[in-house]
Amino acid sequence: MNTIKKTVTVALLAAGLVAGGAGVAQAATVYYKGSAISWEHGRSWGVTSYSDVQTGVYEHSSTANTTFSGWKKPGVLAHAEQFVGTGAATAYWNARG
């Protein structure tokens, strides 16, 4: 019975670590020429850097490490992601117009 308890405990702890490290995200409202821009960025599954940007007013783009989303029209989500492994995840947003 003790072996079953230990096995279940280890399995639950491992599942918690995997699920807990699955994604670290930061959401922010940033401003360009006084207009709000929605920006979410971080890591997904602990190994992928991502950046999501959206605004209804200006053309915008996002960059995750060196991956560029391309310029998107107002109202269209700009999404970029790149595998970084254990390296640093960097994210950027841009707007024009």
Is 72 in contact with 61 (CB distance < 8 Å)?
yes
> Confidence band (pLDDT; 50, 70, 90) for 4?
low
Residue of 25, 45, 29, 36 lying closest to 91 (CA atoms): 25
H/E stretch holding 16: helix 2-20
> Confidence band (pLDDT; 50, 70, 90) for 23?
low
Tokens found for residue 91: 């994210």
Please provide the average confidence, as pLDDT, over all residues in the chain: 84
H/E stretch holding 29: strand 23-32
Architecture of domain 24-96: Sandwich (2.60)
| % of the chain at pLDDT higher than 90 | 69
Average pLDDT over residues 69-80: 98
Does 78 score more than 70 pLDDT?
yes
Tokens found for residue 93: 């947003």
Domain boundaries, the chain: 24-96
Does 16 score more than 60 pLDDT?
no
